[in-house]
Amino acid sequence: MKGRWRTDKRIRIASVSAAALMALAVPGMAGAAPSADSSASDAPVIVEYPAHRPLSTPCEVEFDKNGYAWVQEAVGNAVTRLDPKTGELKPFPLKTPAAQPGGMEFDEDGYLWFSEVVGNNVVRLDPADGSMQYYPIPVTNTQLDSLPYGIRATIDTAIKDGGVWMTMAGANAIGRFDMDTHDFTQYPLPTPAAVPLIIQDGPGDLLVFSEALGNKIGTIDVKTKEIREYAVPTPASVPQGVTTAPDGTIWWSGTGGQQLGTLDVKTGKVTEIPLLPLRKAGPLDIGLGNPLPFPGPVRVGDNGKVYFAEGNLVLGGNKIGEYDPKTKTLKEYETPTPLSAPCDLNNQIPGQIHFGEFTGNRVGRLIYAS
């Protein structure tokens, strides 16, 4: 495959037509279209698209070149296309029952790639018709590789340097599937039982990933395959979210440690930003949503602010956090649906953050000031 399509979402969205972008302001969604400068205490800034099928558990959202949103449905065992113009949802089920699609990423040719968390495949989806091509993951080189299910637990996916890279929580490794040769390679982590979770594009030739139980942020060089690990100072922080800002700064979140942080790969310095002291409502925001932030996936907006999911997956949260590195202040925005459990975040469209609601069963959209 010639070249690569950078994972910077703002670069990718440049090919989407202006009409498709304007159509994202869909009338009839839950809540009114918010003003860009509204906050959680006044006009709403989060609106929601129509509900998915029951128990679909939407998580990651990725936009294709035509402006359609593709939504990972973990329990629903499908990838669903969302039309931002109409709100129409069209699911494309996986052929393997209960395979659970993992994190997704588009390549430079417009194909959507993802791995199966429980199934034993890397999958390429053609957004033109939703058809899927399956590539079994060989790891043991024995008859076990022919089984329809595996223990690799490939959680998240990134694309770089002609490869589909994935975190393999069950194998405690980073995997690489070559999109040209279809060869698969596994790179074990130095830390035993580290449980790698999220993997994203990093500065230069690096990919960056989180180690939930290893309590570290890791990087792998796509050229040399060298893995480096950087310890998080606070024990049991359960690192989860990772992302890279335009200036090369790596941002990460600690779900257990209730903190955000940064990593400078040039110096190896890891910083921590405790979130509880920044909450305007006090250390404990007693209510139905997030008594604690439980920060999850993170993205940097085109305004330079850091956005993160609060209480994602099974923690029952209902907020998106916004941290301003310049003012060192925190704002939190509630979803219209209670206990929605915001999952992965998407920053492809300037001025907006899209996310799946794991228990809210919808896709949400946060509008912020660019």
Query: ∠ at Cα 353 (337, 238), nearest 5°?
Result: 80
pLDDT tens digits for 78-91? 999 999 989 999 99
Tokens of 254: 């600690």
Q: Which residues pair with 123 in a beta bridge?
A: 114, 134
C-beta atoms surrounding 286 within 10 Å? 8
pTM for the structure as a whole:
0.87
Mean pLDDT rounded to a whole number for the chain:
86
| 184, 240, 280, 329 from 310: Cα distances, Å | 34, 12, 15, 16
Q: Residue 310: its pLDDT value, please? A: 94
- The Cβ-side half-sphere exposure at 277, using a 13 Å CA radius, reads 6
Query: In this model, does residue 63 exceed pLDDT 60?
Result: yes
Cα separation, 171 vs 187, in Å, equals 10
Which CATH superfamily hosts domain 42-367? Answer: YVTN repeat-like/Quinoprotein amine dehydrogenase (2.130.10.10)
pLDDT tens digits for 255-314? 999 999 999 999 999 999 999 999 875 555 545 567 889 999 999 999 999 999 998 766
Of 24-28, 61-65, 215-219, 239-243, the least confident: 24-28
Q: Residue 314: its pLDDT value, please? A: 60
When pLDDT is cut at 50, 70 and 90, the band that residue 34 belongs to is very low
| 94, 151, 211, 238, 267 from 165: Cα distances, Å | 20, 17, 15, 22, 25
Cα separation, 337 vs 318, in Å, equals 7
Domain boundaries, the chain: 42-367
